[in-house]
Structure 1
Amino acid sequence: MRRPTLLCCALLFAAAASAQEAPDAAVRLAQDAIIVDTHIDAPGILMDRWADLGVEAPDREFDHPRARAGGLDVAFMSIYTSARQDDAGEAWQAAHAQIDAVEALAARHPDKFAILRSPGEVDALREGGRVLLAMGMENGAPIGDDIAELRRFFDRGIRYVTLAHSANNRIADSSYMLEKRWNGLSPFGREVVAEMNRLGIMVDVSHLSDAAVEQAVELSSVPVIASHSALRHFTPGFERNLSDELALAIAARGGVVQIPFGNAFVNPEAAADTQAYFRAVADFNRRNQELEAAGQPPQDREAFEEQWEADHPMPPTAIEAVLDQIDYAIELLGEEHVGIGSDFDGVSGNLPEGLRTVADFPNLVAGMQARGHSERTIRKVLGGNLLRVWKEVEGGAAPR
């Protein structure tokens, strides 16, 4: 999620619940199944505060020891850039620096990590307990106005692109913006979707406005993903989550909705606060523009962020909120169209009890088992569905 506040740079705390608390049957299944998490914000955090993720890093939610304890096989590293970086012309540089960081991590620990560029490489590369690092670009801003940048980022390992993030950009409208720029995708955004299809890059509709999601699903010649989007059924009025109609449209074209864990997605109170935050930011920016136009000094952004956090503490959330989302998604969409995209290291530690780090996937498995889901269904949700979509997108690419 990477809400752009000071907490993005804050230390993250270790889990209160751990994989050791899950029943043996859940631990065994988590270790045996292929678990694919489509959204972990480790690279951005590395840019803010370095840590060696090949060993235990207590201030992070992702590292190799805990990933293996939780059974995580494929971790999509989020190459995140903010709207502010886009405005400052820094997004391209920031994206490449984060890709460098992921490559360095794999090179430093070749026995623990490997870069994953194709779903067909999973079985071979994960031998020996390696965690496979795929990469997704959260916010299409780094490509700028040059569609050829998509190929360059593909060559560096990017395998999905979230078209927009917290603000409207050159490609698409954001769900967080009250005023939309394009009423969906821009003309350039339509070209971007076609080029992503041609290259074999998954189109990610998380963070997009409703109109942009609808248009991206319709335009794409292959299934699309929502890399970390919950369902609005539980959070009325929160456009960042998917409506039933949009989720069904994604599924109807063969896509998959990856359920996140962050409180702001699955807790109605937290979702309302998050939506209010972006409204408050818009008002804050408008006031500052007025002050600057009048020749007066602008208000301090850091002070605004600190006051907002003090006034809006994140409500506690139970793991059942995530399980409810998964249950509803399976009932609505079918077991072939649901997956997981945690947003670990991207929500400033605001996660449910029992799902605090990558060590905690067995707790999710145990919850699904307790609710009567079959092993087949659980394996699909943990990673099988995402790998199927990735293969279809790769298969639909133009020959190179």
Structure 2
Amino acid sequence: MNRIVYVVLFLLCAAPLAGTLTAQDSDMREKARQLAKEYLITDGHVDLPYRLKVRNFRLEREYLGIPVETADGDFDYVRSKAGGLDAPFMSIYIPASYEDNGAKLLADSLIDMVEGIARAHPDKFALAGTPQEAAANFEKGLISLPMGMENGSPIERKLENVQYWYDRGIRYITLTHSKDNHICDSSYDTTGTWNGLSPFGREVVREMNRVGIMVDISHVSDSTFWQVMELTEVPCIASHSSCRKFTPGFERNMNDDMIRRLAANGGVIQINFGSTFLDGEVRKAFDEKRAQLDALLKEKGLSYEDEEAEAVIQKFQEENEVLLADVKTVADHIDHVVALVGVGHVGFGSDFDGVGDTLPTGLKDVSQYPNLIYELLSRGYSEADIEKICYGNVWRVWNAVEAAAGR
């Protein structure tokens, strides 16, 4: 999740994906839809739980209508079925402000919410703690809800909590988020508290290996990444990161050397769909517009939370447009990873419900995975390649981590 809050509205200026289709294009699009149904699709990062939390959908009775079908957000059951999404990792997102301030309590409440969704809709959703459980759910027509924790703050300096979170269903932990925490340094922070992992963070990585929780290196600083790679005994993931080649200077993404090292250890990078993760020019324009809005509100003595700011923000949105990335850009990132390390080390990590209005044309919600599969088919990817990207690569890492813990 990209929790740096942007409120500027970016209107879509790109041409629509579908114009006049040739018969070959039409056949390929149909093939993409078929593959989306045939292959299990996993996504490394969907921020539904926190979206529901902040909108106060907290009581189990309210799960009866959400997330089955809704116009809100990027994820619901109906759209997931349409797009072929079968195992979205529910992000148990903990803002950096919760470090030493109720992180464990918030994490427990979000896990309770995911469990509540599965209880409320047993004909539609099910929990999944292993790839085998997710595969069994897929055969039954159920959408699996595996869970990953975004930010290790809920470990709360107690190594035994790593096992606690595994027992609660967490299958990966993103070590930090937007600020350095007690485990490691963040790519968004400039403090360099630990110059990588803290001494306790080193113990956490080892304990995650022992327990069977995947180490997620999205959000961490470069120095943290390299130290994790030296320490871990099993493959790791980047649950929702893209390639720095396309966003120079943006440390949140991975550079080529990091992608090579992640792959050498058997790991997988799951591409983030947010336009600011995909295109450096979009990111630059996005930041410039936000700075302008910041200055405008400051000049008027307002903050984003002030009721009086709504009209100012609305007017600014109407007068400002930025061109977003599109589905082809996501495929460009996949191409880049494949060229560097092969097709066995890339997957999907959309950040749906986490990147707001920055989603690219053609990938606006979970119903549109077939558009990306079509783009990969049009670039010559085989069905076996696409199966690996849809789930096989991540399942290989997940199984490896589980197997090592079993030993």
Equivalent residue for 1:46? 52
Equivalent residue for 2:109? 97
**Residue 385 (structure 1) shift:** 0.2
Whole-Å separation in 2 of the counterparts to 1:242 and 1:193: 20
Where do residues 243-258 of structure 1 align in structure 2 (5 Å cutoff)? 243-258=255-270
Equivalent residue for 2:164? 152
Counterpart check, 1:77 vs 2:108: no
- Superimposed CA distance per residue, residues 227-256 of structure 1 (whole angstroms, 9 cap, x where no aligned partner): 011000111000000010011000000000
Whole-Å separation in 2 of the counterparts to 1:126 and 1:372: 27
Whole-Å separation in 2 of the counterparts to 1:384 and 1:241: 23
The answer as to whether partners of 1:178 and 1:279 remain within 8 angstroms in 2 is no
Equivalent residue for 1:366? 374
Whole-Å separation in 2 of the counterparts to 1:201 and 1:176: 24
Taking only the aligned residue pairs, the percentage that are identical comes to: 45
Equivalent residue for 1:212? 224
The answer as to whether partners of 1:183 and 1:212 remain within 8 angstroms in 2 is yes
Whole-Å separation in 1 of the counterparts to 2:143 and 2:149: 19
- Identify if the C-alpha distance between structure 1 residues 7 and 300 changes in structure 2 by more than 3 Å, giving closer, same or farther: closer
- Superimposed CA distance per residue, residues 279-307 of structure 1 (whole angstroms, 9 cap, x where no aligned partner): 99xx99xxxxxxxxxxxxx985646x988
**Residue 372 (structure 1) shift:** 0.8
Aligned with 2:350 (options 320, 342, 347): 342
- Superimposed CA distance per residue, residues 171-225 of structure 1 (whole angstroms, 9 cap, x where no aligned partner): 1111011221111111111000000000000000000110101111111100000
Whole-Å separation in 2 of the counterparts to 1:393 and 1:278: 41
Aligned with 1:125 (options 127, 130, 137): 137
Equivalent residue for 2:30? 24
Structure 2 unaligned spans of 5+? 19-25, 58-62, 296-300
Taking only aligned residues, the RMSD between alpha carbons, in angstroms, comes to 2.9
User: What secondary structure, in the 3-state scheme, does the structure 2 residue paired with 1:122 have?
Assistant: helix
- Identify if the C-alpha distance between structure 1 residues 243 and 73 changes in structure 2 by more than 3 Å, giving closer, same or farther: same
382-391 vs 127-136, which moves further: 127-136
Whole-Å separation in 1 of the counterparts to 2:130 and 2:287: 36
Whole-Å separation in 1 of the counterparts to 2:321 and 2:170: 35
The answer as to whether partners of 2:245 and 2:256 remain within 8 angstroms in 1 is yes
Aligned with 1:378 (options 349, 372, 386): 386
The answer as to whether partners of 2:188 and 2:252 remain within 8 angstroms in 1 is yes
Equivalent residue for 1:394? 402
Whole-Å separation in 2 of the counterparts to 1:258 and 1:308: 33
- Identify if the C-alpha distance between structure 1 residues 265 and 395 changes in structure 2 by more than 3 Å, giving closer, same or farther: same
Equivalent residue for 2:178? 166
Whole-Å separation in 2 of the counterparts to 1:205 and 1:154: 18
Structure 1 unaligned spans of 5+? 285-297
The answer as to whether partners of 2:90 and 2:148 remain within 8 angstroms in 1 is yes
Normalising by structure 1, what TM-score?
0.87
User: What secondary structure, in the 3-state scheme, does the structure 1 residue paired with 2:146 have?
Assistant: strand
Whole-Å separation in 2 of the counterparts to 1:279 and 1:184: 30
The answer as to whether partners of 2:125 and 2:142 remain within 8 angstroms in 1 is yes
**Residue 269 (structure 1) shift:** 2.4
User: What secondary structure, in the 3-state scheme, does the structure 2 residue paired with 1:258 have?
Assistant: strand
The answer as to whether partners of 1:111 and 1:128 remain within 8 angstroms in 2 is no
- Identify if the C-alpha distance between structure 1 residues 275 and 151 changes in structure 2 by more than 3 Å, giving closer, same or farther: farther
Counterpart check, 1:271 vs 2:283: yes
Whole-Å separation in 2 of the counterparts to 1:48 and 1:54: 14
Aligned residue identity for 2:95: S
Whole-Å separation in 1 of the counterparts to 2:46 and 2:7: 16
The answer as to whether partners of 1:54 and 1:109 remain within 8 angstroms in 2 is no
- Identify if the C-alpha distance between structure 1 residues 108 and 17 changes in structure 2 by more than 3 Å, giving closer, same or farther: farther
The answer as to whether partners of 1:172 and 1:182 remain within 8 angstroms in 2 is yes
Where do residues 314-325 of structure 1 align in structure 2 (5 Å cutoff)? 315-325=323-333
Normalising by structure 2, what TM-score?
0.86
